[in-house]
């Protein structure tokens, strides 16, 4: 074959992807891929309101960029507070017509009703003394804050799901929503394990939770390794778990939360806190946030440093 023809064939082979696709589509931006490592936590802000000294739940808004929802735990009314990235209070959302005994975590995800709306779900499932006979979740549509005066004072009547555990009383401080809006409660145990319970996306109650997984967290006989907070990425592939002293990332892309005990895991370098209670994906779904229980607590930020 003449040398010129060989050269042309070589050029064509190099220029064409093996699968016949457009090579402009073969390289995804790093911002479109999951994060695989994070920087050590740095201070993003200090929570201005000193009365928010027992923050137990944290999520990044899906409707208003730069807004975080938080709530306080046992003894507090079911009130969600919106903070900005400087730690300032933007307003409150009261869940009216219901009472909460011990609200311990907050999740944000699909409303599970066929709409594109986002819903906030508050978990009233704290039970340190293991004496409660039932537990509750409260769900409201996340309000659009773009046109709200600051500070705002909103009220919404939530849906309520009352549920029980087949094994009897359980203490829990962690809640996530799967992509279809299905709630999963993660218990706080002192035997070295965390139990994962799935609840229905469509609520009518009371119902019994379905135990779907057991996760070994660490040594038994203490509280250091018990789960105090969680968040699941919107695609359901990446789980964050918080304990009093550390945080872990779990890649559950293969088998979902049912396979979490076999998932690849990585520890995150969280900021120093007297009592670590929360963990959340930032609104970019790549960097991570956490805040603890303290007066004028630090809102910590872990930046994504690399992608697979």
Residue 43 has pLDDT above 60, yes or no: yes
**Mean pLDDT over the full length of the chain:** 89
Query: What's the average model confidence in pLDDT over 102-129?
Result: 96
* Per-residue confidence (pLDDT) for residue 274, from 0 to 100: 85
The neighbouring-strand residues paired with 210 are 198
Q: Could you tell me the two tokens for 80?
A: 């969600």
Q: Which domains occur in the chain, in start order?
A: 31-306 (2.115.10.20)
Burial class (CB in 10 A: 0-12, 13-18, 19+), 164: middle
Q: Could you tell me the two tokens for 173?
A: 């401080």
* Per-residue confidence (pLDDT) for residue 308, from 0 to 100: 73
- CA 225 to CA 208: how far, in whole Å? 26
Q: pLDDT class for 214, splitting at 50, 70, 90?
A: very high
- CA 90 to CA 60: how far, in whole Å? 14
Q: pLDDT class for 7, splitting at 50, 70, 90?
A: very low
Q: What is each CA distance from 281 to 108, 249, 294, 303, in whole angstroms?
A: 11, 11, 21, 11
Query: What's the average model confidence in pLDDT over 213-229?
Result: 82
Instruction: Render pLDDT for 132-183 as a digit per residue (tens, 0 to 9).
Output: 999 999 999 999 998 889 999 999 999 999 999 999 999 999 999 999 999 9
* Per-residue confidence (pLDDT) for residue 29, from 0 to 100: 57
Q: What are phi and psi of 256, to 5 degrees?
A: 65, -165
- CA 39 to CA 139: how far, in whole Å? 33
C-beta of residue 87 within 8 angstroms of C-beta of residue 143: no
The neighbouring-strand residues paired with 239 are 232, 250
Query: What's the average model confidence in pLDDT over 265-282?
Result: 94
Q: pLDDT class for 75, splitting at 50, 70, 90?
A: confident
- CA 217 to CA 239: how far, in whole Å? 14
């Amino acid at each position: 074959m003449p040398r010129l023809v060989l050269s042309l064939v070589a050029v064509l082979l190099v220029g064409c992807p093996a699968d016949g696709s457009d090579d402009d589509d073969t390289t995804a931006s790093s911002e479109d891929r999951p994060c695989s490592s994070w920087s050590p936590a740095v201070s993003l802000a200090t929570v201005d309101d000193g009365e928010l000294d027992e923050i137990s739940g944290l999520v990044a808004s899906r409707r208003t960029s730069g807004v975080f929802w938080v709530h306080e735990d046992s003894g507090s009314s079911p009130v969600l507070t919106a903070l900005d990235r400087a730690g300032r209070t933007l307003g409150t959302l009261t869940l009216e017509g219901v009472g909460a005994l011990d609200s311990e975590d907050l999740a944000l995800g699909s409303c599970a009703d066929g709409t594109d709306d986002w819903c906030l779900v508050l978990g009233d499932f704290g039970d340190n003394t293991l004496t409660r006979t039932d537990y509750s979740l409260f769900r409201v549509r996340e309000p659009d804050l773009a046109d709200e005066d600051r500070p705002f004072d909103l009220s919404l009547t939530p849906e309520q799901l009352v549920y029980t555990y087949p094994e009897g009383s359980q203490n829990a401080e962690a809640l996530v929503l799967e992509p279809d809006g299905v709630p999963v409660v993660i218990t706080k145990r002192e035997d070295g394990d965390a139990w994962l319970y799935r609840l229905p996306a469509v609520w009518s109650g009371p119902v019994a939770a379905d135990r779907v997984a057991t996760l070994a967290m660490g040594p038994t006989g203490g509280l250091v390794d018990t789960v105090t907070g969680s968040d699941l990425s919107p695609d359901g592939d990446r789980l964050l778990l918080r304990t009093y002293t550390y945080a872990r990332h779990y890649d559950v892309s293969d088998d979902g939360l049912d396979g979490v005990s076999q998932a690849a895991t990585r520890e995150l370098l969280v900021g120093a806190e007297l009592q670590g209670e929360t963990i959340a994906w930032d609104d970019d779904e790549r960097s991570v946030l956490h805040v603890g229980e303290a007066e004028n607590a630090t809102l910590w930020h872990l930046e994504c440093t690399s992608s697979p």
